Amino acid sequence: MFVEKLAPEQEHAFDVVIVGGGMVGLTAALGFVKLGLSVAVVEAHKLSLSDVPETPSFDSRSTALSYGSRQILEQLGVWSAMADLVSPISSVHVSQKGSIGLNRISAAEMNRPELGYVAPNQVIGASLLAALANHSLTLLSECQVESYQCGEISSSIRVKHVDSVFELNAKLLVIADGSRSKTAALVGIDYSVESYHQYAVIANVTFQQDHAGVAYERFTKRGPLALLPLKGRHMSLVWTVAEDDIEWYQESTDEEFLSRLQLVFGDRLGRLERVGSRVSYPLKLVQANELYRRGVVVLGNAAHSLHPVAGQGFNLALRGIARVLEGVAIAREKNLEISSPKLLANAVDAHKKDQKITVGLSDQLVKKFSHTSPLLGLLRDVGMVGLNNTALPKQMFTRQTMGQATRQVPLSRYFDEHSQSGGA
């Protein structure tokens, strides 16, 4: 059951209040309700159970999901609704224009049916909302957080909706409202920001030939690009370009855009036939300087906003959610407060190594492959050839990108006692 209205000018108490109703916020909400906790979600944009989600979090873009992310979504009971609507990634082809270096990674090498998947954001959103419909949840959409106050046992936030104001008390406040979160700022958490001086250009394109489930990462002097397989002959393009050049990519005709992309990508899949609408945004490495406080935890892009070329942002966020859910579940088994800094520290610390490796991988991929030094170019070539022909390092690299380099959290064990009743 969804509750979409609360009495204004009154205090309402919840175990967990989540600020942000995007993919990260709704995934966390589903996990918490499956643990039997009372949950409220506060979202700035319009979001309803009855409509196809079309907020900025659930626009026409697509997201790469690792095999490890599939396992988390299976435990949450979401995957079955998505399975027929995602596009499997059977292999990844990594190359650099004008270079001998080449790396191929296949699912068969890892003894998996797929390396990962590509899912339209709206499919992810609709699947999460459908799963949440079986549980009790308070959803407050088109709301802004105006203030925050930390108490001994709970946090309190003041939420405004048009001409109504709500006071929400939470044992645990989850901040998941995106990069450089306004809610984090209210709490007093600041950010480290490093600009890449680049933009990401996002669009769907259609090729003459079938992609056969291959995802491509191509590094060029103009910037890296990724092409992810969608249904049919369609692919999702993420093209990184210099900020000085962005105007051309935004204003060029479809024919001009496709011609340049063809020149950069080559003829691997034949002729490029179509490009859909293009959107772009500036790229920065953004990291919260604190990931938790008493009664507060920061997740998703609010914790770390990565370069999109490696497609690891949402996958890293899912693993972080799983760690926090496990920590909360264990605390409840021991009759401990879920606002405990020690509990949150344990959950975050268990995720820190994974976060450090994933952030570093995304960051260095961009920096090392964007460098124009001939010597560094030669070292890149040697490194890519070596990685492609050396089993152990290649397997370690692939396991990290598949989200399986760290222990899988056994969420289902904690959900079992609550799943049938639909939560508290």
**DSSP conformation letters of 94-135:** EEETT-S-EEEEETGGGTSS-SEEEEEHHHHHHHHHHHHTTS
Residue type, 102: L
**Rounded CA gap, 38 and 331, in Å?**
16
> In terms of Cα–Cα distance, which of 346, 265, 355 is closest to 303?
355
**Rounded CA gap, 45 and 22, in Å?**
10
Scanning the structure block, which residue is given the tokens 């600009």? 195
Residues in the chain: 424
Q: Assign 355 a pLDDT band (cuts: 50, 70, 90).
A: confident
Q: Which two tokens stand for residue 116?
A: 């990962």
- Would you say residue 15 has pLDDT above 80? yes
Bridge partners of 41, per DSSP, are: 18, 139
More confident residue, 315 or 55: 315
**Rounded CA gap, 394 and 39, in Å?**
42
pLDDT (mean) for 153-172: 90
Domain extents in the chain: 2-193+284-419
Q: Is 3.50.50.60 the CATH classification of the domain at 2-193+284-419? A: yes
Task: Give the per-residue pLDDT at 235.
Answer: 96
Contacts of 356 (CB under 8 A, 6+ apart): none
Which ranges in 268-340 belong to alpha helices (H)?
313-333
Backbone angles phi, psi at 187, to 5 degrees: -70, -25
- Would you say residue 275 has pLDDT above 90? yes
Task: Give the per-residue pLDDT at 308.
Answer: 74
**Rounded CA gap, 200 and 225, in Å?**
9
60-74, 91-105, 336-350, 356-370: least confident range: 356-370
Q: What is the pLDDT of residues 369-422, one digit of tens each?
A: 554 444 334 333 433 344 344 443 444 445 445 554 466 788 988 886 555 444
Residue type, 371: H
**Rounded CA gap, 350 and 372, in Å?**
37
14-18, 80-84, 187-191, 218-222: least confident range: 218-222
Q: What is the mean pLDDT of the chain?
A: 83
pLDDT (mean) for 214-229: 86
Q: Assign 37 a pLDDT band (cuts: 50, 70, 90).
A: very high
Q: What is the pLDDT of residues 38-61, one digit of tens each?
A: 999 999 998 876 666 767 777 778
**Rounded CA gap, 50 and 69, in Å?**
26
